[in-house]
């Protein structure tokens, strides 16, 4: 064809290696902000993905930020937090914006919009000092100081941990000004680390208290809401392989647990984020995607079983055990192994009894 039409030029090859690897025909040139959106919204920061490793993701974000307009970068940071529910990515973007004069001017107004959890105040400073301690820019001080007005005592106490960077450390650096006497008293308690500790499931576990005792107490005192209880039950089932609860809740737990395993079988970035939004422990999400999903790859649903135990003493509520099918939890000692063996025999006897009850030729008695 080129001999007949000499004006036709041969398609040139792009010698630049792509993030996905290799080289090929030149694609349409994309604006830098679109490249930045792709690398932030289609990947997880500092985590290896199919085509790119975690360090390359961070390096590409660092390279693209000064090439984009400050307003576009700021809008992307807000979208990452408020729409995509990402936590560290928007903080990393803002930290990098501080290195460029034009971008830095927006940091003071941007930080209070992005920091929607009290622990994100300390998270930002940890990211800001990731490459070594450096002075805080005035816009950083302004934004962090304004962020202190976003939270009440309950939210501060929930995340006031014994970490390398504490809330009081940030407060001493940025000096937030209280709006009234009540807020000034709150800031004083943060400085003294004398906040009223909230009586919640997360706080109790962080303090190393007994799970069973804490769970029972919070339920009996009505301090755990319905959705929080369901999420914790589903997380516990996926983590331990079985739980005991009422028949009504067992059916709800089975439904949501199977949905989480189905998300794990799809194994995309979007489904992983969906699972992280529901399951309360990150290591359980990893277990669902890396262990449970491959285990049930050949099953189209029906990953759990419910065994009725009869009425509970006291209120007479019907109790049941929800159990993952064919799941064997690793045991650490002989006593636990013996208990697991007895439980396995119990489930076999229950299954045999059900099978015999359905068989019309079985003679009972």
pLDDT in tens, the chain (365 residues): 445 555 555 555 555 545 544 555 555 678 899 999 999 988 888 788 777 888 888 999 999 999 999 999 999 999 999 998 898 999 999 999 999 999 999 999 999 999 999 999 999 999 999 989 999 999 999 999 999 999 988 889 888 888 889 999 999 999 999 988 989 999 999 999 998 877 777 777 767 778 778 877 877 776 667 777 889 899 999 999 999 999 989 999 999 999 999 999 998 888 888 898 889 888 999 999 999 999 998 888 889 999 998 888 878 889 999 999 875 555 556 666 677 777 777 777 766 766 666 555 544 44
Looking at the structure, tell me whether residues 242 and 349 fall in a common domain.
Answer: no
With b for 16 or more beta-carbon neighbours within 10 A and e for fewer, the 213-247 pattern comes to: ebbeebeeeeebeeeebbbbbbbbbbbebbbebbe
Identify the pLDDT of residue 7.
59
Looking at the structure, tell me whether residues 186 and 53 fall in a common domain.
Answer: yes
175: in domain: yes
12: in domain: no
Looking at the structure, tell me whether residues 288 and 352 fall in a common domain.
Answer: no
Looking at the structure, tell me whether residues 131 and 53 fall in a common domain.
Answer: yes
16: in domain: no
Structural domain span for residue 271: 224-328
Identify the pLDDT of residue 29.
73
Looking at the structure, tell me whether residues 341 and 265 fall in a common domain.
Answer: no
Cα–Cα distance, 247 to 29 (Å, whole number): 58
Looking at the structure, tell me whether residues 263 and 350 fall in a common domain.
Answer: no
Looking at the structure, tell me whether residues 291 and 338 fall in a common domain.
Answer: no
Cβ atoms within 10 A of the Cβ of 14, count? 12
212: in domain: no
259: in domain: yes
Looking at the structure, tell me whether residues 290 and 302 fall in a common domain.
Answer: yes
Looking at the structure, tell me whether residues 176 and 131 fall in a common domain.
Answer: yes
Q: Is residue 318 helix, strand or coil?
A: strand
Cα–Cα distance, 116 to 176 (Å, whole number): 17
Identify the pLDDT of residue 364.
44
19: in domain: no
Looking at the structure, tell me whether residues 229 and 168 fall in a common domain.
Answer: no
Q: How many domains does the chain have?
A: 3
pTM of the predicted model, to two decimals? 0.58
6: in domain: no
Cβ atoms of residues 167 and 122 within 8 Å: yes
Cα–Cα distance, 150 to 179 (Å, whole number): 12
Identify the pLDDT of residue 106.
95
Looking at the structure, tell me whether residues 40 and 170 fall in a common domain.
Answer: yes
Q: How far is CA 261 from the centre of its chain?
A: 16
Instruction: Look at residues 21, 36, 151 and name the one whose alpha carbon lies nearest to residue 92.
Output: 36
5: in domain: no
Looking at the structure, tell me whether residues 51 and 126 fall in a common domain.
Answer: yes
């Amino acid at each position: 064809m080129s001999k007949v039409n000499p004006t036709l030029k041969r398609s040139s090859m792009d010698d630049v290696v792509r993030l996905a690897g290799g080289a090929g025909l030149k694609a349409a040139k994309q604006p830098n902000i679109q490249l930045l959106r792709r690398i932030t919204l289609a990947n997880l920061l500092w985590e290896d993905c199919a085509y790119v490793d975690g360090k390359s993701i961070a390096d590409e974000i660092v390279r693209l930020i000064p090439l984009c307009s400050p307003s576009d970068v700021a809008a992307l940071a807000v979208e990452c937090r408020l729409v995509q529910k990402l936590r560290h990515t928007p903080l990393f973007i803002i930290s990098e914006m501080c290195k460029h004069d034009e971008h830095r001017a927006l940091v003071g107004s941007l930080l209070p919009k992005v920091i929607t959890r009290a622990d994100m105040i300390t998270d930002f400073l940890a990211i800001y000092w990731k490459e070594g301690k450096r002075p805080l820019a005035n816009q950083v001080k302004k934004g962090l100081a304004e962020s202190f007005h976003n939270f009440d005592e309950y939210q501060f106490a929930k995340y006031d941990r014994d970490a390398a960077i504490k809330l009081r450390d940030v407060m001493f650096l940025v000096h937030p000004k209280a709006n009234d006497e009540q807020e000034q008293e709150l800031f004083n308690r943060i400085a003294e680390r004398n906040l009223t500790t909230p009586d919640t499931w997360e706080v109790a576990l962080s303090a190393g208290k007994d799970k069973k005792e804490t769970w029972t107490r919070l339920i009996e005192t009505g301090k755990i809401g319905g959705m929080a209880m369901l999420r914790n039950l589903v997380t516990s089932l996926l983590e331990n392989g079985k739980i005991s609860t009422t028949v009504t809740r067992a059916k709800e737990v089975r439904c949501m647990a199977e949905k989480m395993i189905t998300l794990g079988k799809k194994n995309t970035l979007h489904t992983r984020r969906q699972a992280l939004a529901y399951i309360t422990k990150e290591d359980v999400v990893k277990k669902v995607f890396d262990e449970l999903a491959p285990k049930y790859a050949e099953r189209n649903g029906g990953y759990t079983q419910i065994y009725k135990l009869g009425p509970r003493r006291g209120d007479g509520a019907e109790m049941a055990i929800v159990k993952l099918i064919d799941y064997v939890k690793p045991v650490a000692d002989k006593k636990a192994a013996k208990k697991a063996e007895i439980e396995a025999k119990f489930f076999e006897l229950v299954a045999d009894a059900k099978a015999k009850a359905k068989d019309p030729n079985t003679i009972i008695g």
